Amino acid sequence: MAFEGLSERLQKVFSTLKGKGKLSDEDIRKVMREVRMALLEADVNFDVVKSFVKTVRERALGAEVMDSLTPSQQVIKIVDEELTKLMGQEAVPLNKSAHIPTIIMMVGLQGAGKTTTAGKLANYLKNDKKARPLFIAGDVYRPAAVEQLKTIGQQLDVPVYDEGTEHDPVDIVRNGLKVADENKNDYVIIDTAGRLEIDEQLMEELTRIKELAHPDEILFVADSMTGQVAAKVAAGFDEQLDITGVVLTKLDGDTRGGAALSIRSVTGKPIKFIGQGEKLDQLDVFHPDRMANRILG
Ligand code: GDP
């Protein structure tokens, strides 16, 4: 289960405060040392942990005693609020163009879940926004990717523009956008290539696609199982491409929390969706407050 270790650790830490009438400064400092350890063990970025713990500690030390809450409830409330803030405070909707089509470009490392997430997004747009999306198959390096997207297209009854794997992805995107214009598709979802790690050639190709397509949304797809590495990679893509948002995948697995808690702070870009399974309907809008509640259990 996602965040299991972190949730258990935090609950244990806060349980030591239960029944205390008033918290001493030493109680708070001790608890925050434990919270710090729990976050680091969950693979949250070091600088993020440092500033988070500092903020919570200062707020807890300075907090007025409230009659309605026990001291331990009050500390938990502050942690809850600060976790929510850390993950972006509020849900951020998908960008939408003033004129059709809205163009969404999917980017990320190979295996992160780009192609699957492209499918999930199309499903979401069809069902929730009554949209008529078109896919463009721009991942020409992983031979199975084009076929995978076509299969998804068939399942969802969403058209796929592809030219196989022999053509330049920039040309494919150019031609695909023409088809979207002709067919008056209101959304275009461009699947792009990934690599096992960031490399110059990939970034150059993605930059060329971006310059051609002027996407309204560049979504970095991040595998939450990779912890704070996901935040580092996201920052790398952001530097090159100025991403507009993040989709965090595989939150149905036993991810520890490092990606979810680091990525917003490290990149400054909002997490817009979370993937919670392999099926095409297993995508949810990301709500920071709900995620904080889930972490605190
Ligand atoms: P790409 O290389 O980035 O296009 O990655 P794919 O879309 O092919 O996904 C890689 C693997 O991750 C596939 O087996 C997907 O089924 C799986 N996957 C993608 N998103 C999720 C998710 O949210 N949860 C789980 N459990 N698996 C996922």
Q: What ipTM was predicted for this assembly?
A: 0.99
The β-bridge relationship of strands 187-192 and 160-161 is: unpaired
Under the banding of pLDDT at 50, 70 and 90, the label for residue 64 is confident
- CA of residue 73 to ligand 1 center, whole Å: 38
Rounded distance between C-alpha atoms, residue 210 and residue 145, angstroms = 20
Q: State which ligand 1 atom lies nearest to the alpha carbon of 191.
A: 4
**pLDDT tens-digit profile of 235-286?**
999 999 999 999 999 999 999 999 999 999 999 999 999 999 999 999 999 9
pTM of the model: 0.96
Residue nearest to atom 20 of ligand 1 (CA): 113
pLDDT at position 190: 98
Phi, psi of 289 (to 5 degrees): -65, -40
pLDDT at position 249: 98
HSE-CB for 151 with a 13 A CA cutoff: 9
**pLDDT tens-digit profile of 26-47?**
999 999 999 999 999 999 999 9
Rounded distance between C-alpha atoms, residue 295 and residue 292, angstroms = 5
Q: State which ligand 1 atom lies nearest to the alpha carbon of 275.
A: 23
- CA of residue 114 to ligand 1 center, whole Å: 7
Residue 197 above 90 pLDDT?
Answer: no
**pLDDT tens-digit profile of 95-129?**
999 999 999 999 999 999 999 999 999 999 999 99
Nearest to 261 by CA among 293, 291, 238, 290: 291
Residue nearest to atom 28 of ligand 1 (CA): 278
Report the pocket of ligand 1 as residue ranges, CB < 6 Å: 108, 110-116, 194, 249-250, 252-253, 275-278
Strand, coil or helix: 101? coil
Q: State which ligand 1 atom lies nearest to the alpha carbon of 221.
A: 3
pLDDT at position 105: 98
pLDDT at position 279: 98
